[in-house]
Amino acid sequence: MLPQKQRENTSCTFLGPNLPDVWVLSENTSPHTLTTGSSQSADDGHSATILEGTSIATEIKLKVAEEISRMKSEIGKFPKLVMVLVGDRRDSHRLIDVKLEACEKVGIEIVVSKLPENCTQKELLDVVSSFNDDKNVHGIVVQLPLPQHIDEEIIMNFVSPEKDVDGFHPLNIGNLAIRGRKPFFIPGASKACIELLLNHGVEIKGKRVAIIGRSKIVGLPTSLLLQRHHATVSLLHAYTKNPEQITSEADIVVTYVGIANIVRGNWIKKGAVVIDMGYNEIKDPNNEEFQSTGDVCFEEAVKVASAITPVPGGIGPIIISMLLSNTLDSAKRAFGMF
Amino acid sequence: MLPQKQRENTSCTFLGPNLPDVWVLSENTSPHTLTTGSSQSADDGHSATILEGTSIATEIKLKVAEEISRMKSEIGKFPKLVMVLVGDRRDSHRLIDVKLEACEKVGIEIVVSKLPENCTQKELLDVVSSFNDDKNVHGIVVQLPLPQHIDEEIIMNFVSPEKDVDGFHPLNIGNLAIRGRKPFFIPGASKACIELLLNHGVEIKGKRVAIIGRSKIVGLPTSLLLQRHHATVSLLHAYTKNPEQITSEADIVVTYVGIANIVRGNWIKKGAVVIDMGYNEIKDPNNEEFQSTGDVCFEEAVKVASAITPVPGGIGPIIISMLLSNTLDSAKRAFGMF
């Protein structure tokens, strides 16, 4: 049994309470009960709570805008984000447009630094270097993917960890992995996942979490962040045999795989919480139009889970708001406002 | 099914093959079979293979000694390790003596830099700084724990990642976490675990691994290293409810908890491999003498597992040899011998 004091401390503050790493022999052998559990069966018309993200995103953006407005009036300064774009990929342009609009709405100055597809690695490093040195720049995002002739690792490692608002620098990932350490930034998708869970009152401490997909931008950092929140995390990937055996024992299932409907209803434990971070476009055979969908077969999972994110409108909108929040945090640190 | 080429690539090179992160829909729904599985029951007198570490450690040390000898004769240089010791703790002295002896045997020059218990943080930082700058020093180990008035995090982060032969720097942990990246060093305990498994022909890819204990020196880096080797890892800790439910489904169980006999026989799946990294001293009620033991109840587990490490004589000896190997690697890098 945990000491009384620890057992009472069930509220999760952001980044998780740094509780002592003490292994206490447990005499509790009672079966696991879910906080968010449902006693209804899949056949009784049960439908999960929909974990809608748009209103949370709006709330975060409002808060960020308020803080920036106060910052401007108090010290006459504001956050500045630089997006570095190499080449002319349409999908990159689309993503940058979304970020541009979001930044402008909350009062973050955003500059898009464009380099031609055939620029050299040295030229790109020089550009990043100038932003690293520029005290007026608080966040640097190098839009991925980069052209083949440029070494992505060298570029990403070169971004100052103190301006790495995407949180992908190995120093930030390392400090996220080590409990008690404080990374400058945590990747937006992982922060969005935690925010959604906490916002809907889902307890994380002591829960079993299955994360499907171990990408460095979503699965890996999300596993590290949920571990900090004292979840017991299993990280599943392409080489996992019978992944449904693990997911069907998890209280929380997080997916970022990139295959529509890979996670079926029978992968989910009754009453579990499902966070679908996937985004896939599939063709409707009836009208040949594309539909966006996640990794989870929503129609099946919604009958089993106690709560589930929709795609679109779930985790997606929160991710962008986390980029804004990270940029604001960076500016506050630079202005000594923490 | 995995592509033929990938399926054939079952040999694990050190740090693991960096296979593409492609999720392939599997049609293989056959029950999981263990490479090292045993069909014998716990009652039939079955006894696991003992994963003895001493001979592996001797082999590694021999190889390190050979390489250093060649280095000396070819370029007249050799690796140098500095141990920084603050205060006068008996256990720290004992550990340093073990490392001293091991280094001397293989031809690594070792210097113990002693500071008084009441030295200031600034004094300690200055000492570390001088070794960071010294081109003749290839490895720096700051012996933990440090006195209360010194901020361990600041000191550990100050050790140059390129001389961090313990592998605890967040930059090295981050690069261990991110597949495809190459940390300068991997913590000795984690390397020892992999070495023992590979040496005994235990397949890691696609296996389910339960790691009990998430310390930053053993559990965390071992989970990251085994993930790089394509295991499906669950990281268990003090807040995990019913840990035996997870361990009893694992093909490989790794423990570093610090409580004697916490892992019982019924926590282990028949035919699983057990790596006991724990080291505990318990008093024999008959003669009041202390006996060293691991975290696993060996007498029970040996009847269920297909292979198990003894304590002492299992993982322990290999860990020291990994420190030597890391120091040699660092010197080779410094001398441009890679």
pLDDT, tens digit, 9 for 90 and up, residues A11-54: 222 322 333 334 443 343 233 233 443 434 445 688 999 999 99
Give bridge partners of residue B263 from the DSSP assignment. B296
Q: What's the pLDDT at A318?
A: 96
CB A177 to CB B224 under 8 A?
yes
Count of other CB atoms within 10 angstroms of residue A72: 12
- Residue A198 pLDDT more than 60? yes
Q: Average pLDDT for residues A121-146, to the nearest whole number?
A: 97
Give the nearest partner residue to A181 out of B170, B234, B240, using CB atoms: B170
Pair A317, A57: CB distance under 8 Å: yes
C-beta pairs of A225-228 under 8 Å, 24+ apart in sequence: A225/A15, A225/A16, A225/A176, A225/A186, A225/A190, A225/A191, A225/A193, A225/A194, A226/A193, A226/A194, A226/A252, A226/A254, A227/A179, A227/B214, A227/B235, A227/B237, A228/A15, A228/A16, A228/A176, A228/A179
Between B26 and A162, the higher pLDDT residue: A162
If you average pLDDT over every residue of chain A, what do you get?
A: 88
Q: What's the pLDDT at B90?
A: 87
> Rounded to an integer, what distance in angstroms lies between the CA atom of residue B194 and that of residue B12?
10
Of all residues in chain A, the percent with pLDDT exceeding 90 is 80
- A169 to chain B, any CB pair closer than 8 A? The answer is yes
Q: What's the pLDDT at A266?
A: 97
Under-50 pLDDT residues of chain B: 1-42
**pLDDT tens digits along A103-120:** 999 999 999 999 999 999
Cis preceding-peptide flag for A312 (omega within 30 of 0): yes
Q: What's the pLDDT at B176?
A: 97
DSSP-assigned letters across all residues of B3-36: -HHHHH-----TT--------------SPP--TT
Count of other CB atoms within 10 angstroms of residue B58: 13
A290: phi then psi, degrees, rounded to nearest 5: -90, 140
CB B259 to CB A25 under 8 A?
yes
Q: Which residues contact A59 (CB under 8 A, 6 or more apart)?
A: none
* Angle, in degrees to the nearest 10, between helices B54-75 and B188-199: 110
SS3 B307: strand
Chain B: closest CA distance from residue A282 (Å): 17
Q: What's the pLDDT at A37?
A: 39
B226's tokens:
């085994």
Q: What is the largest CA-CA distance in chain B?
A: 64
Query: How far are the Cα atoms of A153, A187, A218, B238, B276 from residue A329, in angstroms, in the given order?
Result: 25, 13, 21, 32, 43
- B224 to chain A, any CB pair closer than 8 A? The answer is yes
**pLDDT tens digits along B123-167:** 999 999 999 999 999 999 999 999 999 999 999 999 999 999 999
- A12 to chain B, any CB pair closer than 8 A? The answer is no
Q: What's the pLDDT at A182?
A: 94
- Residue A338 pLDDT more than 50? yes
Contacts of B236 in chain A (CB under 8 A): 232
Q: Which residues contact A55 (CB under 8 A, 6 or more apart)?
A: none
Q: What's the pLDDT at B118?
A: 96
Which string of b and e fits B261-288 if b means at least 16 CB within 10 Å?
bbbebebbbbbbbbbbbbbbeeeeeeee
This prediction has a pTM of 0.89
Q: Average pLDDT for residues A218-244, to the nearest whole number?
A: 97
**pLDDT tens digits along A319-337:** 999 999 999 999 999 999 9
> Rounded to an integer, what distance in angstroms lies between the CA atom of residue A255 and that of residue A263?
8
